[in-house]
Amino acid sequence: MSQHKFLIGIVLSLGLFAPAFAAPSAAQVCQKMLADGRGNGLSQAACLCNYQKAEATLDDDIKTLLFDSWYNGTDNIAALEKLQKQGRVKRQMLLLQQKIQRGCPAF
């Protein structure tokens, strides 16, 4: 193994490599969604609560699609429907809805 490949392996394994475009923070996602008029009356605080519940509840593949939708306004319904194990997707989305209803301000 060359020294170059060895160093790249160490950097990646230690998490020292940060992508050039890091994912936006919860605050950035909510701020952009609300500024773009896609919040349906949500406050920043309610949006952040919803984001935190989603972060804690959803698998990474579902979160990626949901947060992309919130940040960019992308319609990811078709992509969600193509995910494997649709029962898992539906259960997690229902659980998220319940957690938001119980633990987040309505607006």
* Residue from 81, 71, 62, 76 nearest 26 by CA: 71
Domain ranges of the chain: 24-103
What pLDDT is stored for residue 5 in this prediction? Answer: 45
For 55-99, what is each residue's pLDDT tens digit?
Answer: 999 999 999 999 999 999 999 999 999 999 999 999 999 999 999
Distance (Å, rounded) from C-alpha 85 to C-alpha 46?
Answer: 30
Of the two residues 18 and 89, the one the predictor is more confident about is 89
Mean residue pLDDT of the chain comes to 83
pTM metric for this prediction: 0.76
pLDDT band at 21 (very low <50, low <70, confident <90, very high): low
C-alpha separations of 73 from 23, 36, 41 in Å? 15, 9, 16
What is the Cα Rg of the chain in Å? Answer: 17
